[in-house]
Structure formats: C-alpha cells, structure tokens
Structure 1
Amino acid sequence: MPVTCRRSPRSALTASVAAFLAVVATGAAQPLLAQEAVPSGPAPRGFAWPQTPSLNFYGAPGLVDMPSAEMLPDAQFAPSFSYFAGQGRLNLQVQALPWLGVAFRYTGIQNQNPNQLLFGFDTYYDRNFDVRFRLWKEGRYRPAVAVGLQDFAGTGLFGSEYIVATKTFEPEALPGRLKLTAGLGWGRFGSNNSIATLGTRGRFQGGDTGGELSTDQWFRGDVAPFAGIEWTNGPWGLKAEYSSDAYTLETRQAQAFDRRSDFNFGIEYQASRQLRLGAYYLYGSELGITAQIQTNPRHPPSVMQVPAPTPVVPRSSWAQDEALWSQSWAGSQKARIKVRDLLAEALKQDGLILESVTLKGTSAEVRIRNTRYRSETLAVGRAARAMSRVLPPSVESFRIVPSSGGLGMSAVELRRSDLEALEFSPQAADAIWAVATVKDAGAAPAEALVSEEIYPAFSTSISPYTSPSYFDPSVPFRLDIGVDLDASYRPAPGWRIAGAIRQRIWGNVADGRPGSSKLPQVRTDAREYAQYGTTLNRLYVERRWKPGHNLYARATLGYFERMYGGLSGEILWKPVDSPLGLGAELNYVRQRDFNQRLGFRDYDVVTGHASAYLELPKNYLMQVDAGRYLAGDVGATFSLMRTFNNGWRLGGFFTLTDVSADDFGEGSFDKGITLSIPVSWLLGQPSRNSYGLTIRPVQRDGGQRVSVPGRLYGQIRAAHGKSLTAQRGRFWE
C-alpha cells in the first residue's frame, strides 16, 4: 500500500495506539468464541478458556511472526498491537467468511542508522492489506490447510505468500492442547534458508503512488520452510517457532536490530475472555510484546433489555356481546378520532409514534415511526399488539406501514385472528410470518387520519461527536472532539428542515499536513476546515415522497456537510420482495467557505451516480455506483457490506475512475474499510444510534462523493422483505 513518510518522533505510532484501542475496546466486552456466549468477569473455577486462535505479530492467526492455518470464528473482529526492535504494528483482522480472512495493517519502522536512513526517513510508515483462504478444515487425521497473501499491493515491503498446515493434538500425557504448524513461504517468508526457487520474483514497481496489485511477485522467487509449536493450558500459552523471514531491510539498511537466531519464543496470557497479552524473545536479540482484542458482533456484552410486551388478548374473551362486533362505529368521525387517539397513546408506550391511521369497518392501516428499536420487525410486532388492544372487534385485517420521514417503506399485512391464535405457538415467529405478507406501502390514503400531535414538530438534541484523521506521517492518529447541537422541524409528512451547529472542544486535526493535489482539492483541504471551533455543520430542507409503485424519491436543498452545499435529487426503485434495487442521484454542489458559515468558495460541480444494490446470502450487500465525482472524474465505486441482525455493519470499497495513478497521487485509487457498531449492542438498551467510521489508507481527491444526509436505500432496505424476514424472531419480543 502507499507510504507517506517524513521525519517524526520515534514514539509517534506507539502514542496513537492507545487512542485506537480505546475506540475498538468499546465493543470488546463479549466472549471470544462466536459459537457460545459466556458471562463477563473473572473465570470461575474449572472454566474452560475459549480456544479461539491466538494472533501473531502481523495480527493474523499464527505463532510469533509466522502464520498458522487456523481461522477465527466467522465474523470475528480482532484488533491487535505488536512491538519489537523499533517496529510497531497496528493490525485489524476480520473473518469476513468462515473460509476467508482479511486484514489491514499500519506499521512504523524506526531507523537506527543515521548514515543511511530507511528510504530517507528516520521513521518509515507503511499501510498494507492481507487476505487468507482456508483450503480445507482440520479433520481427525488431516491438518487444516490455508493459503495467504500478505501485503499483496502497494510497496510490498512486507510482501509474502504462504501455504501452511496446522494440526491440533490433546495428548493424554500433557494437559491442555498442542498445535503443530509447518509451511512454505515466498517473499519475506522465503528470505531465510530457502530450499528452492520458483520463477523470478521481480522487484515490484509501484512508483511513488503505490496501491497497485503486485501480481508479478505472488508465489515467485525463493521458497523457504517455517514451522512452530503452540501449547495452551487454561489462560496460559507457550509458543516456539522457526522463522523463514531474514529481516534483510531492517537489519542491514535500518540496522533496527541484530538477527542472531532463526528461532522465536513467547509466552501469552488470556487476561480476560477478550484480551490476550504476550511477551516474546525474538531472533536471539530482541524482546517483544503484543496485545490482542477479539470480539464478535453476534454476541453483545450484555443481554438486550427490552420491556416485555403486553400479551395479545383474544377478542373471544372480552367481546362476547354480538353488538360489540358492529361496524357502525366506522361511520362516525368522532368515534374514529377517539380510536386514533387511543391507538397513538398505546403506541407511545412502546416508543412508537403514530403517523396516521386509516379505519374501516373490518380493516385498519397504521403508519408508524420507529424511534426506539433498531429492528423494524420488532416495531411491527409491537404495533400489531397495540392494534389488537385498541381497535374495535370488527377490525380483522391489520396493515402496518413502517415510515421514515413521512415516507412509507413497506406494508406488513396480517389477520388479527392469526395474531390471537399464534402468540403462544411453539413456532410462533415462523408461523406468524408464514401467514403475513409484505407489500409496497403506497401513498397514505386520502381518508387517513393524521396524528395531530406530531405535525408540525420541532425537536432538538445535544450529542458528542468525534472526527478522526488517520495516517498523517507525523501523528498517525489525530482526533477532534466536541458537541453537536441538532435541531429539526417537520411541518408535514415527508417534509423536514434540519441543521446542526458544531462546537469543537479539543483536537489536533487542524495541525495535520496541508493538502496537495494535481486534482481540484475537493477533500485534501480538510485541514483548512478544521481550523475553526464553532461551525454550521449542516442546514437543509428535505422532501421525501413516493412517485409510484416500488418507487421512492428525495430532494434536498442546503448545506449538506461541512465542505459542500447545493441541491440534490434522488430516485430509488426497490420492490419489497426483490434483492435488487436501482437508484439514481444528481447533485449540483458548491464548496463551502473554510469557516463553515453561510458563504461559498469558487469551486462548483455537477456530480451524480447511477446505483445498483444486490442483497446476497448471509446478509451481504453488493453495491455499484457509477458516475461523476467531486473532482470531475468519472468512474465507479464497488463495495461489499455485511450487516448483522443486531445492526453491526462491516465492509470495504474501492473506486476506479479515469484519473491516472500519477494524477491521483499516493494510493493510486480510493479504497477503504467501513465499520458501524450499534449503541444498543454496546449498552443493552434499545437505540437506533450507532458509532461509525471509515478508514482510508490515504485521503485523496479522486473518487470522492458529496455526503448528502438521508440517502434512501439504507433506510428503505431495513423495512423490506429480506430484512424483516431475517428478524422475524423479534416479532413477538
């Protein structure tokens, strides 16, 4: 990956680790194993410590420096930090699929040779990606086998490929568990005591920009064996390995350490179910340390505390008088308004807001706004219970429409009699969903009774914010913190006026490096925007509506984000029962003044994209956005996102445009990792808020989009068939 270097304090990378781990550790208080949940706290007597694979100095499952063939549990999220001989490695390992692991790494190497600085810098920083594939699982007699590519793009400083096998034993004569690992390595892992050569491994020519795939190096050149053994018993573990990495660059040019031996040794301690610590003796001359955190989105730190719902009471137990089943009430405006008000109060007890209700003699449509629960299925279930308590006995058909900003996202239709009959069924969740249908919401009927309490509506909130900046070569992690004062006014369904004033309390993003680019500086002048403490972060008016069947539309005018304002329009086609969605967005934007008040700079651009969204198995979403970006470049962004039912989202993206690698600059093209952790997962209390971040190896100007608030697809998808069905178990919660 691309490298940006300059003379900097030797402790710069180490100083950033605490801040990084503080962010990740907020989600670290759950068990290591993805297969079972265990309580927090000290291990009880006789407790069997989780056998999740430990990590090596590169943050991958392995020994000390060398990899193993083990895979983490599916969806495991494992940040770690390792340090030895002036090298600090900040690693992020993610088990994207049961057979596929991906990783991002940020490394600092301190130079100890004043006469020959490493690439001209006393501290050299490098960013790189890894990928590893499991070829087959471990069997009774067969070892697990994996193949991996380390630092497979960019500078190739840590470029390595390997094939490795691992076998686990539990010998009767020895307590605990024994793992034997052996493999063959290329690149760095083939640089010590090679036994063969396969083809020619040319020097990768990534230029000054980096970021290109080094395919001409993969599995070529010298091949060397490596091996190791790991023994674990309770919280303790011992490791020993034979390393095939000669550390040529670090020992000869940087003179970071003296490599005297091919063997490494380590001792590790499982300090908690999430945190593992290690100390090591490496290459006969150096001491090293690691800290590893492993967490899994499937297992929150605490059980979700949701108030118990009110049981459904069958009409047969309270409406035995035949006169009560009359439909005459539906002809009285006064009676319908009374029912509306009672229903609004019942929904309010469950944290739901009644947008409108359409009442007929035997059917009712209710449009609700869910402000409490992340699961729309749970909100639909609570609304159905409220309807069963309040509506007259003659109403048999329920139509529940989850809404966002006055826009109906879908309609769940079910019979009241099914609700009464299936609540205590052994397979209640599957049973109710088998008789329910999900349809297009359509527009609210003309005769709908709109709730008088919510329009017009004005709300305010104060919340903290964090604005990080990554990989500045002098300070790898910068951060601004402060508070946002948000205000919102909804004059009618589908309309919203919103804004936010931001007050920075502390931060050092303003001290970052100035931007430089051959392209218009549409993002690299972020340092200039960070100079001001009190700013108008956004101020806009938005209109949402349904122009037709399976169609959703949005128009937004104002200051969208701290850098841009203008006019934005979007249309989305998304059938409720289809995995495919198609959308188009067109924006005219102008760059805002650095002080983020009401003024604009000279730069303006028309930008827009056509988008395709495809829902894949296991809650994966593939998205392609093709069009024109902020710098005027044309191309497409490809992204893959995995969403968990509890709201966790993890994915990656890359953008290719008509800008050349030289004109783009460092990194060659835009790419990154996105992560979103729901607050409800952390706190165990219902909430729709989440903590999200996007990590780019480098922020440049090519392939950049304007951040428009309220884009449609994410909210619409959450209330469509696949998402509702995936969470059908929450209907009765």
Structure 2
Amino acid sequence: MAKLIFGVRPLNSLWGLTPLLLVSHTAVAQGPGTGQSDFGGVGLMQTPSARMNEVGNFAASWSRTAPYRRYSVFIQPLDWMEVGFRYVSVENREYAASDGDRNNLDKGIDAKFRLHQESRYWPELALGLRDAGGTTLFGAEYLVASKRWNSLDFSLGLGWGYLGNASDVDSPLGWLDQRFDERPGDAGGDQGGEFALDQLFRGTMAVFGGVEYQTPWDPLILQLEYEGNDYTDEPQDNDQAQDSRFNVGARLRLSDNIELRSGWERGNTAMVGLSFSTNLAGLSQVKRDPPPRAMNAPADPDWASTAESLQRNAGIRVDEIHRHDDTLTVIGEPATYRALSQSEGRANRILSAKADDGVDTFRYRWQRRGLALREDVHDRDAFEAAAGSASHDTPYRYGVYSHARLEEPAGDSIYQGDAQRASWRIGPSIEQNFGGPDGYLYRLSAYASGEYTTDRNGWFSGSVTGTLADNLDKYEYIADSDLPRVRTYIGDYLAEADLGIGNLQYTRTAKLGDDLYAMGYGGLLEMMYAGAGGEVLYRPFDADWAVGLDLNWVRQRDFDQQFGLRDYETWTGHATAYVDTGYEDILAKLSVGRYLAGDYGTTIDLSREFDNGTRIGAWATFTDAGDDFGEGSFDKAFYVTVPLDAFFVRSSRSRATIAWQPLTRDGGARLNRRHALYPITEERDLGRYWEEYKATWD
C-alpha cells in the first residue's frame, strides 16, 4: 500500500492527524526546456533533457499514453540534482495478487545529475537513472546534452534499457568488459525495490533527442521528439505498435503553476498530461504582524503587562524575568517568529521603555519544554543608539553574543508566569493513499487536539479524529511477508474507528548536564501503539553534530482506537547520529536499531533546509528482514516540511509536513513518536542567527 500524506506531524510519521494544507502558489520559471516529461522530471515527452529546474522546485504531474498512466512527484534539492518518485498504472495488465479487477502498478525512483552547465559554446550535460529503485520494468540510464538557441531548445542523448530498446548501436562499454554487452532482466529483484546496480549502462544503446520551440504566444510551447524505444520489448510482454519514432506535442501554460500537455506518440497514440509546479524555496507571504514598539512608547504599568507585551509583540512566551544589578534576564520560549533576532529586537524596545536607567544589559535565556538551551546578550545603550541611527548598527551588532553557560540566574525574580496552561485546536484532516492495488483511498475527518502543561517540564497531550467521509471499504491487504503485521493493519485502523483517539500521553523532560537532555513519555503513543519510552540526546552548543538514543516498549492497540490493546508487544529503539554536513544546509541523520517487527537495521535520512524555512528530504531504511520484508526490499520516502507562515500574513513557528511513501510494509517500521528532542533543542544551533540579523529591526 502506498501513501501520500499531508499535515502537521513529525517527520517520521506515517498516517495520523493531518490538517488540510493551504497551497501558496509560487511562480516557477516557464519556457522551453523547463516542462515535465510523460515520466516526470524535466524533459520533452518520452525522453529526458539535460535541463534542471530552479533549486527548491517541486513538480507533481500526471500523464496518459495508452496503456500507461503515470503519476510522479519530482523535487530539485540541489542545483545539480533532480530526484523523484513515480507510479505507472498499466491498464491492460492485472495486479498479480488481485482478484482481477485492478490494474498492475509499477513504482520507481529516478535521479538526474548535471555534469556540466551550459555555456556560450558548450551544451548542458546530464547523467540520469530512471526506475532505478523499483522493479526496473522501465529501468533506463542515459547521457544527454541540451543547448538553447534563441526560441529553440535542443536535446540529444544516448539511452540504455527502456530508453535504448531501439538498439541503434552496441554497447560502447563492451570493450571494457563483456558483461556490458548484455542487459540482465529482473535486476530489481523478485519483489522489487532493490537498486539494480548490476543493470546499469548494460546492453545496446539508442539515440534520442528533440527540440522545443517557444511560440510568439508566450503560454504555448511546441515539441518534436525522436525517442530511443521501439516498443518491441515492453515489460510484461506488453509490446506496442509503433508507426514512427517521432513524437509531436505541445505544452500550454494555464497559470504560473499549472501546465496542460498533449501530444501524438508512436505515430498512432494520443498523450495528455497535467503538471503542477511551485518553488518551495520561494514560498513566502507579505507579513502584517503588529509593528515593533516605538522606542519612545510609554512603559507598561507593571511587569505582568510587560510579559504580556513580550508575548504579543515580540513572540516570547515568558516564564520568568530576573533583575540582578544592571542586568535584566528574560527566560522564555520562542512562540511566534522563526528568527530569534526578530523576537530579541522587538523585546529590546519593550524592555528599553520599561527598565530604569540602571539597567545596561538585556539577556534572553531561551528554553523549550523546560529545557534551557542558550542565552543571547544585548547591550542596551548600543541597541538604543543603533535603533536611532543606522550608523550605529555595526558597533551594536558586534556587541551581541550567545553562550550556553546557563547557571541559575542571580538576583530577584520580578515576574514569574503560570507554568500550568492549556491549549487546543480543531480542524479538518485528510488521509490519502494511492499507488497500491486498492487504487485511491481516502478518509476525510475532523480532528481536535489539546495540551495541558503540569509544570515547566511536563505536559499531557492528546488528539481525537472523527471520520466524515471515506472509501476504505475498498481496502484489502495483499502482501507476501512473514513479518508480524505491525503496519499493514492500517486499513483496519482507519476503517473501524469512526471516532478514534490518535494520541493520549504524558511527557516529561529533564536536563542531565550542560549538553545532555532527556525525555520520558507514556500512554497511547500513536494510532496503532500504546506504551512507554524515553530518549536522551547529547547536543553540544553550536556544534555541527549530536547523538541520541531512544528505547520504547509498545503494545499494539485495538482497531477501534479506544483504550483496548491487542496481543502483539515488542521493544523498539534506535541510536541516532545527527550531522550538519556544512554543504548546502544539508542535515544527515543515521539511525541504527530495532524496528517494530523485530527486524534490525539502519535508516538514512538526508534533508536540506532553505532560507525560508522549508525543508525537503528523503529517507531509506534497510533491515535484516530479507525476503520476509514483502513487496519492496527496503522502506523509503520523500518529505517536505513547510513553515506555515509561508501561507499566512502573520508569523508562525508552526510547520506542516507532506510525505510521500510508495509502500506501507512491516519491514523497517518505526514508532511514530509525537515529540523528539532534536527539534525541541534546535535553538542549541546558532544556525542562521547572523544571516537573519536584519530581522532585528522588523
């Protein structure tokens, strides 16, 4: 079973409460050489080009060329790399394990790498892999060059596998080793999902290419393509008649983000397609936050009012304010603005109006969930001078510093907030599932979630979901696996709970040392599991690495998602290393441990965060389950995490996650923990503090 998931949730979540996500349309570059191919990814129709989209580009597309329907999602994480997932529905072939009324579905992973950027005299050059991580039914490799001339964009390439079935020439690599002369079949494994390394660049080749023409009418682009496939060696003996290797087509831009595609392929078959594209790195919204307080604004009447102003205007949820000699220290959590410099700049104005002339220094001790993370120190006189004159900005900037020497603040506590507080939210949610034998499945629900803090370090959290509409009666589990069914009961959980408890737990944090943090939790931990567990994290201040360990005992919940439990229970946990690679803001996570089905293995997670806070990434899990894993020999997914203030006119630190996972399988299944220490302690990393310094004045 495959799934497309939307919502505000942890990155490792599968299904669950998923508030509907409003879409902000960011215009993407349009013109020849930028459109999606039939297979997804930048190209013409059946063939790829060497072109890349802008960094952060996200494209979802659909196309139909009988007997194939293709659904794809492609992302541009780096300027030289494009990656994507794709489903191919074969209309005239049945799903092998079905009862005869379902089309066969093939799933694949693509990647394209730019080898040379176009210059005045030299073309763009790229190397690519198609369907490299699935059954490889449509597996191909290619080397392609593209060159633009006025309104024309030309591409010419060499293809192996599906792109080289016309067999124009023998393999040029045969002189290195005879094994390159023949291309093995079934390289993706009996169950699919393996990387077909022994298939790469083997077998005969074919020439492909084409040209796109930007017409005088800006929305319309015309295409002419010569493909390298002759359709005489189609997967599953599904050969197609081909009257011509030339294809003709057109792309019509309906809006800045939506494009309609059509064509005539194989000389006898119509193609139609639709693409949606947006630049995730460019998502933003003009803010209408309350303006910063003026420097000459009257002071608040008391410190309780000052704390309210700090939350309302500076986005700081204040726990305490201390006064010691010439220093004011504000202890609190960032609640509104993603840039701490923005919160601090606004707070400086409020404190400048309130503090007497004997206060020279403002300190902000940042914490989350009761965990002290860092302290930022500002010189009052330097700030007031800089706020009044741009020429004073430089000396002020170099007077700001951060540290992690967080002893108990000295002096008197002049304000202490109430640690006990409650919050809640309600809204719609949707779980969507496609790419499996059941076709498209959905559940439209209403959810309510809430939280009650008992003290600085402890809180209860819970959520309930009620079904409004669904088609889950179509769900049927079809898989060949000897593992315990730790995730593949998903359809039963969704179908049997008209009103279910998604989460109900108590969580508590503690700081064990200068750089060591801990968290414990127990209750109904997620939709499918109840239990208890804990996590410790060692995270040095402003270091580019951290290590953590979590251990959990869990028991499977009843399908109705109330308080009943099933018989299955297990221990699960992982040791995880986090490394900021220092390259293009890429974070690498490596987890090793025991998964829910009792299998042992490793999860590798790579993600990149853009300047606007959007993070795109992918993970893959490999375990010792072997043939017991079921369809697909390893678990994998793409995800996108977007700051919600990219869609709204008010600033927010909340985030929404879209995840796309091609299969629901029991191998490599992880517990969906609601809270984790690494994101809670993110302020230990100075990150982009100085890059975002200008937000001090916003």
Q: TM-score, normalising length from structure 2?
A: 0.89
Distance 2:572 2:323 in 1: 44
Q: Which amino acid aligns with 1:182?
A: L
Question: Quick check: 2:330–2:365 contact (8 Å CA) kept in 1?
Answer: yes
Choose the corresponding residue for 2:361, options 386, 397, 407.
397
Displacement after TM superposition at 1:402 (Å): 2.7
1:136 maps to which residue?
116
Report SS of the residue matched to 1:298.
helix
1:111 is matched with: 92
The match for 1:508 is 471
| Structure 1 position 229 matched with structure 2 position 225 | no
1:71 to partner: Cα distance: 1.0
1:386 aligns with 2:350: yes
Structure 2 unaligned spans of 5+? 4-18, 175-180
Aligned partners of 1:81 and 1:731: how far apart in 2?
44
Q: Counterpart in 2 of 1:365?
A: 329
Residue 551 of structure 1 aligns with an amino acid whose one-letter code is L
User: 1:676–1:692: 8 Å Cα contact kept in structure 2?
Assistant: yes
Q: Could you tell me how far 1:25 is from its partner in structure 2?
A: 9.7
Greater share of residues in strand? 2
Task: Using CA pairs under 8 Å that are at least 6 residues apart, name the structure with larger relative contact order, 1 or 2.
Answer: 2
Contact 2:231 2:241 in 1 (8 A): no
Of 139, 142, 148, which aligns to 1:168? 148
- Provide the residue aligned with 1:340 in structure 2: 303
Q: Is the 8 A contact 2:111 2:129 kept in 1?
A: yes
CA contact (8 A) 1:111 1:122 kept: no
| Candidates 605, 613, 623, aligned match of 1:639 | 605
Q: Identify the residue that residue 37 of structure 1 maps to in structure 2.
A: none
SS at match of 2:526: coil
Structure 1 contact 501–534 (Cα < 8 Å) conserved: yes
With over 3 angstroms needed to count, the CA separation of the structure-2 counterparts of 1:493 and 1:167, relative to structure 1, is same
Contact 2:94–2:100 (CA under 8 A) maintained in structure 1: no
- Compared with structure 1, are the counterparts of its residues 400 and 301 closer, same or farther at alpha carbon in structure 2 (3 Å cutoff)? closer
Partner of 1:159: 139
Q: Given the superposition, is the C-alpha separation of residues 354 and 113 from structure 1 closer, same or farther in structure 2, using an over 3 Å criterion? A: closer
1:231-281 per-residue CA deviation (whole Å, 9 max, x = no partner) reads: 1132211110111112235599336x5311110001211222212212111
Q: Distance in 2 between matches of 1:448 and 1:58?
A: 66
1:332-373 Cα shifts (integer Å, max 9, x gaps): xxxxx9753242132133143211111112112112233333
Distance apart, 1:378 and its partner CA: 2.6
Aligned residues: 669
**What is the Cα-based RMSD across aligned positions, in Å?**
3.0
Corresponding position of 2:13 = none
Check the 8 A contact 1:144/1:165 in 2, yes or no. Answer: yes
Alignment of 1:232-251 (within 5 A): 232-233=214-215, 234-250=218-234
1:561-580 aligned at under 5 Å gives the runs 561-580=526-545
1:204 aligns with 2:186: yes
Whichever residue aligns with residue 586 of structure 1, its letter is L
2:454 is the alignment partner of 1:488? no
- Contiguous gaps of at least 5 residues in structure 1: 5-22, 34-48, 171-176, 320-336
Residue 72 of structure 1 deviates from its aligned partner by 0.8
> Does residue 275 of structure 1 match 2:258?
yes
Alignment counterpart, residue 422 of structure 2, candidates 441, 447, 458: 458
| Counterpart amino acid of residue 255 in structure 2 | S
Taking the aligned partners of 2:412 and 2:69, their CA distance within structure 1 comes to 63
Residue 638 of structure 2: aligned partner: 673
Matches within 5 A, 1:458-477: 458-475=422-439, 477=440
**Residue pairs, 1:32-47, within 5 angstroms:** 32-33=28-29
Superposition pairs of residues 596-615 of structure 1, within 5 angstroms: 596-615=561-580
Q: Which amino acid aligns with 1:200?
A: E
Residue number in structure 2 paired with 1:586: 551
- In the other structure, the counterpart of 1:179 is 153
The question of whether the paired residues in 2 share the 8 Å contact of 1:210 and 1:668 is answered with yes
Of 177, 189, 212, the residue aligned with 2:163 is 189
Query: What does residue 623 of structure 1 align with?
Result: 589
Aligned equivalent of 1:13 = none
Residue of structure 2 in register with 1:697 after alignment:
662
Q: Taking structure 1 as reference, are residues 442 and 604 closer, same or farther at Cα in structure 2, changes over 3 Å only?
A: farther
What SS class does the counterpart of residue 216 from structure 1 fall into? helix
Q: AA paired with 1:300?
A: L
Question: How many Å apart are 1:295 and its aligned residue?
Answer: 0.9
**Deviation >4 Å, runs of 4+:** 23-26, 49-52, 116-122, 249-252, 424-433, 450-453
Asked if the contact 2:538–2:546 (Cα under 8 Å) also holds between the matched residues in 1, the reply is yes
After superposition, where does 1:7-156 map in structure 2 within 5 Å? 26-27=22-23, 29-33=25-29, 53-111=34-92, 123-156=103-136
1:652 to 618, 621, 644: 618
Q: Is the 8 A contact 2:597 2:668 kept in 1?
A: yes
**Distance in 1 between the 2:325 and 2:33 partners?**
59
Shift, 1:451, TM fit: 5.3
Matched residue type, 2:196: S
Task: Spell out, residue by residue over 1:205-254, the C-alpha distance to the aligned partner (whole angstroms, 9 max, x if none).
Answer: 44432111111111111111112111113221111011111223559933
Q: Which amino acid aligns with 1:633?
A: D
Which of these residues, 492, 516, 519, is aligned with residue 528 of structure 1? 492
- Percentage of identical aligned residues: 30
Instruction: Give the distance between the partners of 2:478 and 2:259, measured in 1 at CA.
Output: 39
Cα distance change, pair 486–305 in 1 and its aligned pair in 2 (3 A): same
Letter in 1 for 2:120: R
Of 723-732 and 620-629, the range deviating more from structure 2: 723-732
